[in-house]
Amino acid sequence: MATSEWEIPNELQPNPAELGFDLDRALRSIVAVKAMVPADAFTAQTLGTERIGSGVVIRPDGLIATIGYIVTEAETIWLTTHDGRVVQGHALGHDFETGFGLIQALGRLDLPALPVETGEAPQPGDTAVLASAGGRKHALRCTVAARQEFAGYWEYMLEEAIFTAPAHPSWGGAGLIGGDGRLLGIGSLVMQQQDGKGKRVDLNMVVPASLLPPVLEDMLAYGRPNRPARPWLGLYATEDEKGVIASSMARGGPAQKAGLQEGDRVLAVGGTRISDLAGLWRAVWASGSAGTRLRLTIGREASPRELVVTSIDRRAFLKAPRLH
């Protein structure tokens, strides 16, 4: 979607008079990100070879925080500033546990850096601004609807994700800015939920910015947190009222190699019974680090059976960033 083709309606844009910071200055910290990924990259089939989103300048030297899926396996990255300047960037790292990606601008951005929230904020009921690149017309006044657990089908979980409403139409890498001008989070997803009256409500899931400082220096030094990688199964799973179902597997990944099939129900990991996605990922990660062998009890055609899956570090499937 070209940035000129849409804008947030005036009545949903933030009112600078109601904010305790310089809105226009803060919005200059948000840049457009365009990432080009090789066609033979592992994530190209699911995420595409051209990815567009936003990123937030968090240091004066041009360090940018974004959501990791935009820059995973990116070969070329272009950054566009609020005044139309285009600067090349380089993907520095991706933390699969939080979901953050880091980009370093390879030219001078000369943009203000947003300070990163390090505490427990924000809380339900707080008002904030969720903004993608493009200034006020792409900034949305929103409310924190919830702070709660989020489990994703791609072997991902946050203990206390931020959910905001109304939903921003260009959420990927958008910056959630608090009332004091601090960066509260980075936009990740749009989701639908039912409210108490049976009406569908669109929400954004935002990764809390407070998760970034503890891993930032490692990501700058190593491209990832400096700790053993979690075990990865290459399993895409969903949940229903009966439990967890394997919806698909990464081609050539551990789950597929072990014989897991689409439609299998995951009943247990080791001795831990599984009733939901969060429980599945917790049980997998509690089993050790990447390389550990996991015993899965699965239900197929109503009869339980056991499979042994040898996990790996998911980075083994990914192309490393190339510095031009």
The CATH number that applies at residue 58 is 2.40.10.10
Q: State the average pLDDT over residues 168-195.
A: 94
Beta strands in the chain (DSSP E): 30-36, 50-59, 63-67, 76-80, 86-94, 100-105, 127-131, 139-152, 156-165, 175-177, 183-194, 200-208, 235-240, 243-249, 265-269, 272-273, 293-300, 303-310
Domain coverage including residue 301: 235-317
- How many angstroms separate the Cα of 219 from the Cα of each of 23, 216, 248, 284? 29, 5, 30, 24
Q: State the average pLDDT over residues 282-311.
A: 95
In a domain, 243, yes or no: yes
Q: Are strands 265-269 and 293-300 parallel, antiparallel or unpaired?
A: antiparallel
pLDDT score of 200 = 87
| Separation between Cα atoms, residue 206 and residue 54, nearest integer Å | 13
Q: Which of the four pLDDT bands, split at 50, 70 and 90, describes residue 3? A: very low
pLDDT score of 322 = 64
Provide the sign of the torsion angle of the four alpha carbons 259, 260, 264, 266, taken in this order: positive
CB 217 within 8 A of CB 224: no
Q: State the average pLDDT over residues 103-131.
A: 95
CB 206 within 8 A of CB 161: yes
Amino acid at 85: R
Q: What is the percentage of the chain residues whose pLDDT exceeds 70?
A: 97
pLDDT at 72 exceeding the cut of 90: yes
Any idea what DSSP says for residue 223? Answer: S
In a domain, 324, yes or no: no
Any idea what DSSP says for residue 38? Answer: -
In a domain, 211, yes or no: no
Average pLDDT along the chain: 94
Provide the sign of the torsion angle of the four alpha carbons 256, 259, 260, 262, taken in this order: positive
In a domain, 285, yes or no: yes
CATH number at residue 283: 2.30.42.10
pLDDT at 324 exceeding the cut of 70: no
pLDDT score of 21 = 95
| Last-in-domain residue among 70, 91, 113 | 113
In a domain, 30, yes or no: yes
pLDDT score of 321 = 66
pLDDT at 152 exceeding the cut of 60: yes
| Separation between Cα atoms, residue 280 and residue 156, nearest integer Å | 10
- How many angstroms separate the Cα of 124 from the Cα of each of 128, 163, 166? 11, 9, 13
| Separation between Cα atoms, residue 154 and residue 148, nearest integer Å | 18
Q: Specify which residues 194 forms β-bridges with.
A: 200
pLDDT score of 94 = 93
pLDDT score of 320 = 77
Spatial CA neighbour of 122 closest among 73, 164, 78:
164
pLDDT score of 49 = 92
Q: How many domains does the chain have?
A: 2
| Separation between Cα atoms, residue 131 and residue 187, nearest integer Å | 9
pLDDT score of 308 = 98
pLDDT score of 235 = 97
pLDDT at 206 exceeding the cut of 90: yes
In a domain, 79, yes or no: yes
pLDDT in tens, 79-100: 999 999 999 999 999 999 999 9
Q: State the average pLDDT over residues 271-298.
A: 97
Beta strands in 166-223 (DSSP E): 175-177, 183-194, 200-208
pLDDT score of 1 = 37
In a domain, 250, yes or no: yes
pLDDT at 164 exceeding the cut of 80: yes
| Last-in-domain residue among 88, 113, 138 | 113
| Last-in-domain residue among 96, 113, 130 | 113
Spatial CA neighbour of 36 closest among 76, 71, 65:
76
CB 90 within 8 A of CB 51: no
In a domain, 304, yes or no: yes
